[in-house]
Amino acid sequence: MLQLILEIIFWLSIIAIIHPYSSYPIFLHLKTKNKNKNFSFYTREDNLPFVSIIMAVHNEEQILEKKIKSILKNDYPRNLYEIIVGSDASTDKTNNILENFCSEENHFFLEKFTQRTGKINIINKLIHKAQGEIILLSDADIIFTTNTIFELIKNFKEKKIGLVDSNLQKKNPQKTGISIQEKFYFNYEITIKNMEGIMAGVMMGPFGGAYALRNKLFSEVPKNFLVDDFYINMKVIEKDMWCINNLNAIVFDSTSDKIQDEFKRKIRISTGNFQNLKEFTHILFSKKILLAFSFFSHKVLRWFGPIFILLSIISVAILFNSGLFYQVFATLLFFSLIIPIIDYFLRKYGIHIILLRFISHYYYMNLGLFIGLLKYIKGVKTNVWEPTKRESNPGY
């Protein structure tokens, strides 16, 4: 009986680990391969909606001017959008840069906050100043292309569309760190999110760097939440509106190549994930089967990935003498666990093997998820955090 229980635990854990990255994307592909979007969309000759572009920034002097200029170079009519920026107690030249743009540009507004309150608390306050029918939320380190705004806005002619995410592209990956792996992950995620949107408008959260939603659908995010974009997205879905991704709304971001930086970011995101899980657990029991299945497959199983990895290790270790299969599997599994150590020492000597780095990246990020879970259990008192340091000139 004990062996049967262990085998069930082992196989359920393996399925739970594999499903979000393999069978679920295959399911999405089969559901969408012959499905047309059939969305109404604005043309450039239409009466386009007024847009409020909102940013919360903190000490972004290296990239901020480049970001704002990328907005102003857009081909969306300049009289049809405003830029509202909240400076979260910035101590570098950020405020000077913003003040210069305020003096030069119409519909450019700056609000300076003297105490750190965190990104989402800034957004919650700025949203009440927005005049636009459409809100476009963006981070300081995300660079627009000339048609980003129009591509994000055009799908809102379709009444059922509530939120549109951009196609975030990572630039100039380096083999010395994890930027190649991060770029692959982002591209894979964008593909999955795009298919979720096409299938039933159930995209499981924008990346947060640049996305748009109807002003009337914005829901104030709880003050201590760490992952605001997912919360906003799911609140839109709760209102029976569609959330989609537009692959033509391209924006660029420079990828941090440092494992330490991305590891800290994953811990923060993981902690926020479990805040959102508590908030939206009821969706797992929704009568909308595709919504519940997408949430479970794309998010919940991934968030508990570290637990399933631990269960698979423990169960296969106990089952080691139960047959050749478990012996081979255990050997391969335990060898994979030491790959991050091997990769670490190889990296010290300037040796970078991409396949090993992918395996290391997977384990690092799951360790981040596990630490995030522990931090969530401990309790989250504030959403204030230091952004990951980016390159000031990512090569756009």
CATH number of 51-284: 3.90.550.10
Please give the average per-residue pLDDT across 63-76, as a whole number. 96
Q: What pLDDT, on the 0 to 100 scale, is given for residue 349? A: 84
Q: What pLDDT, on the 0 to 100 scale, is given for residue 173? A: 66
Q: What pLDDT, on the 0 to 100 scale, is given for residue 383? A: 64
Q: What pLDDT, on the 0 to 100 scale, is given for residue 152? A: 97
Name residue 214's beta-bridge partners.
134
Which of 36, 37, 46 minimizes the C-alpha distance to 157? 46
333-363: per-residue pLDDT in tens?
999 999 999 998 888 888 888 889 889 989 9
- Residue 381 scores a pLDDT above 80: no
DSSP for residue 332: H
Beta strand 161-171 pairing with 210-214: antiparallel
Q: What pLDDT, on the 0 to 100 scale, is given for residue 389? A: 53
Which of 378, 178, 344 minimizes the C-alpha distance to 261? 178
Q: What pLDDT, on the 0 to 100 scale, is given for residue 50? A: 98
Tokens, residue 388: 């990951």
Determine what percent of the chain is predicted with pLDDT higher than 70. 93
- Residue 390 scores a pLDDT above 60: no
Q: What pLDDT, on the 0 to 100 scale, is given for residue 35? A: 79
pLDDT band at 34 (very low <50, low <70, confident <90, very high): confident
One-letter identity of residue 186: F
Q: What pLDDT, on the 0 to 100 scale, is given for residue 208? A: 82
DSSP structure string for 47-113: -PPPEEEEEEESS-TTTHHHHHHHHHT-SS-GGGEEEEEEEES--SSHHHHHHHHHHH-TTEEEEEE
Q: Domain residue spans in the chain?
A: 51-284
- Residue 385 scores a pLDDT above 80: no
Strand order from edge to edge, sheet including 51-57: 108-113, 81-88, 51-57, 134-138, 210-214, 161-171, 242-254, 143-144
Q: What pLDDT, on the 0 to 100 scale, is given for residue 264? A: 87
Higher model confidence: residue 247 or residue 392? 247
* 42 C-beta neighbours (distance < 10 Å), count: 16
- Residue 386 scores a pLDDT above 60: no
Q: How many angstroms from the chain centroid is the CA of residue 298?
A: 12
Tokens, residue 53: 């572009």
pLDDT band at 156 (very low <50, low <70, confident <90, very high): very high
Name residue 110's beta-bridge partners.
85
Range with the poorest average pLDDT among 171-180, 195-204, 230-239, 270-279: 171-180
Q: What pLDDT, on the 0 to 100 scale, is given for residue 395? A: 31
Higher model confidence: residue 82 or residue 175? 82
Q: What's the whole-number average pLDDT of the chain?
A: 91
Phi, psi of 75 (to 5 degrees): -90, 5
DSSP structure string for 229-253: HHHHHHHHHHTT-EEEEEEEEEEEE
Q: Which residue has the tokens 């519909």?
A: 107
279-297: per-residue pLDDT in tens?
999 999 999 999 999 999 9
- Residue 393 scores a pLDDT above 50: no
DSSP for residue 321: G
Please give the average per-residue pLDDT across 15-40, as a whole number. 91
Which of 256, 95, 244 minimizes the C-alpha distance to 177? 256
